């Protein structure tokens, strides 16, 4: 047994030592920083976090450890960070769900606005409106007409209550003033499987998951949800081009510390985040995901606070109008 432990320990120490680097002169950080991801390992948010964490740890001179605390639509992990010590060693990387939770959950154990100190925006992943490859409409205009005409006969997959894919669908139905039949899945992975197999008609999902299938011609893309076309999918029009105004939606990610964290530490982390976002590895990896790092001016506490406040207001309306609740 002892030998096993030794081999085990030795192997793991060598593994983790590879990422240990220079020591900073400053006091903070003098121990590893933990970023909590409120979702399971391997998901898109986890991937984004790990890429950013690796780049930040180079700058901070301390290991930045990613910890997955999944469950209850991301509210468990967020709640844990809200209650954590505000010493700058426990941070949260959360996506758009940070702004939808107050509208979805009646009893949220934290307040996204007052229990966190924003550090900065990280990225905003565009979404795509896609359909099975033999779906009749040819263009975005055709699609809009088709959906208006057939309404509930069209099945629309989403990843469950409060998921970005559901929110996107709600906005879409709201914009077209019609209803489709929602088919919830346990995450967008299985939903994509059924879309590929032609079991369902439509879905709205982030480019992270759809780009490679679109490029391979396995599914049809009708629109991107950004204000301008995106580089990896130059042929896919925006919603505005199809005549649907004000339909902008991205899965934005932000980095937060617990409220009351020292301003100097927040500034240090924001500077580190900005630096990480300009690194080449992060840039190219994000591009592979079909997204891009935000500008340095957006990776700031002020920009994130503003985004969060605006989004909380927006989703409160959309979700209340759709009558959705996760209790």
Partner 1 sequence: MDLLSSLALGFSVALDPINILYCFIGVLLGTLVGVLPGIGPTATIAMLLPITFTLGPETSLIMLAGIYYGAQYGGSTTAILINLPGESSSAVTAIDGYQMARKGRAGAALATAALGSFFAGTVATLLLAFFAPPLARAALNFGAPEYFSLIVLGLLVSIALAHGSILKALAMIVLGLLLGMVGQDIYTGTPRFTFGVRELFGGLNFVAVAVGVFGVAEILRNLENEKEREVGVSKVSGLWLTKDDIRRIIGPVLRGTALGSVLGVLPGGGHILSSFASYSAEKRLSKTPEEFGHGAIEGVAGPESANNAAAQTSFIPLMTLGIPAHPVMALMIGAFILQGITPGPNVINQEPALFWGIIASMWIGNLLLVILNLPLIGLWVKMLSIPYRVLFPAIVLFACIGTFSINQNIYDIYAIAFFGIVGYLLIRFGCEPAPLLLGFVLGPLLEEHLRRAMIISRGDPMIFIERPISATLLGLALLAVIVAVLPSIRKKRNEVFVEDD
Partner 2 sequence: MALNASRNDLASGALFVALGGYFALEAMKYDFGTPFRMGPGFMPVVLGGVLVALGVAVAATGIGKPDAEAPPAWPWRGIALVLGTILFFATTIRGLGFVPVVLISGFATALSSRRNSLLAALVVSVGLCVLCLLIFVVGLGLQLPWFGPWLRF
Sketch the per residue contact string, 260 through 299, with partner 1: x for CB under 8 A, - otherwise.
Answer: ------------------------xx--xx----------
Q: How far apart are CA 111 and CA 243, in angstroms?
A: 37
Contact status: 296 vs partner 2 (CB under 8 A): no
In the complex with partner 2, the residue whose CB is nearer, 31 or 297, is 31
By the rule CB under 8 A, 30 interacts with partner 2: no
- Segment lying near partner 2 (by CB under 8 A), choices 10-18, 205-213, 236-244, 275-283: 10-18
Instruction: Please report, as residue ranges, which positions from 221 to 250 form the binding site for partner 1 (by CB under 8 A).
Output: none
In DSSP notation, 208-220 reads HHHHHHHHTTSEE
Residue from 8, 145, 264, 302 binding partner 2 (CB under 8 A): 8
The 10 Å Cβ neighbour count of residue 305 is 17
Cα–Cα distance measured from residue 96 to residue 127, given in angstroms and rounded to the nearest whole number: 12
**Identified binder of partner 1 from the candidate list 85, 145, 196, 302, rule CB under 8 A:** 196
Q: Count CB atoms within 10 A of the CB of residue 110.
A: 19
Site string for partner 1, 166-195 (x = CB under 8 A): ---------------x-xxxx--xx-xxx-
Asked whether the beta carbons of 283 and 292 are under 8 A apart, the reply is yes
The string of DSSP codes covering 110-164 is S-TTTSEEEEEEEEEEEEEEEEETT-S--SHHHHHHHHHHHGGGSEEEESSTT-H
- Using CB under 8 A, which residues numbered 61 to 90 contact partner 2? 65, 67
Which partner, partner 1, partner 2, none, binds residue 322 by CB below 5 to 8 Å per kind? none
Which of 74, 68, 44 lies closest to 209 in space, CA to CA?
44
Packing angle of the helix pair 280-288, 44-60 (nearest 10 deg): 170
- Tell me which of partner 2, partner 1, none is bound by residue 41, counting a contact when its beta carbon lies within the kind-specific cut-off of 5 to 8 angstroms: partner 1
Using the 8-state DSSP alphabet, how is residue 74 labeled? G
Question: For residue 90, what are the β-bridge partners?
Answer: 34
Query: Which residues contact partner 1 by CB under 8 A?
Result: 1, 4, 7-8, 11-12, 15-16, 18-19, 40-44, 46-47, 50-51, 54, 66-73, 75-76, 79-80, 104, 109, 155, 160-162, 181, 183-186, 189-190, 192-194, 196-200, 208, 211-213, 215-216, 218, 284-285, 288-289, 324-327
Query: Which residues contact partner 2 by CB under 8 A?
Result: 1, 5, 8-9, 12-13, 16, 34, 65, 67
């Amino acid at each position: 047994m002892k030998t096993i432990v030794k081999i085990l320990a030795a192997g793991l120490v060598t593994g983790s030592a590879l990422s240990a680097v220079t020591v900073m002169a400053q006091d903070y950080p003098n121990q590893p920083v933990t970023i909590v991801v409120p979702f399971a390992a391997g998901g898109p948010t986890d991937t984004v976090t790990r890429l950013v964490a690796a780049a930040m740890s180079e700058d901070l001179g301390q290991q930045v450890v990613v910890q997955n605390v999944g469950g209850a639509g991301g509210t468990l992990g967020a709640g844990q960070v809200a209650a954590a010590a505000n010493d700058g060693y426990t941070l949260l990387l959360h996506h758009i769900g940070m702004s939808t939770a107050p509208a979805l959950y009646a009893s949220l154990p934290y307040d996204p606005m007052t229990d966190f100190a924003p550090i900065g925006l990280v990225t905003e992943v565009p979404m795509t409106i896609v359909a099975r490859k033999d779906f009749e409409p040819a263009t975005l205009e055709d699609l809009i007409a088709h959906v208006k005409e057939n309404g509930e006969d069209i099945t629309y997959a989403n990843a469950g209550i409060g998921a970005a894919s559901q929110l996107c669908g709600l906005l879409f139905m709201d914009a077209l003033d019609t209803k489709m039949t929602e088919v919830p899945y346990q995450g967008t992975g299985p939903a994509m499987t059924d879309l590929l197999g032609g079991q369902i008609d439509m879905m709205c999902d982030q480019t992270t998951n759809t780009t490679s299938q679109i490029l391979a011609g396995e599914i049809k893309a009708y629109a991107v949800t950004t204000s301008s076309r995106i580089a990896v999918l130059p042929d896919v029009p925006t919603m505005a081009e199809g005549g649907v105004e004000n339909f902008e939606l991205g899965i934005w990610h932000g980095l937060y510390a617990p409220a009351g964290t020292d301003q100097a530490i927040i500034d240090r982390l924001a500077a580190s985040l900005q630096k990480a976002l300009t690194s080449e590895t992060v840039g190219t990896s994000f591009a592979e995901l079909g997204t891009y790092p935000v500008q340095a001016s957006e990776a700031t506490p002020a920009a994130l606070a503003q985004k969060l406040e605006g989004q909380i207001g927006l989703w409160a309306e959309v979700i209340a109008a759709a009558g959705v609740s996760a209790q």
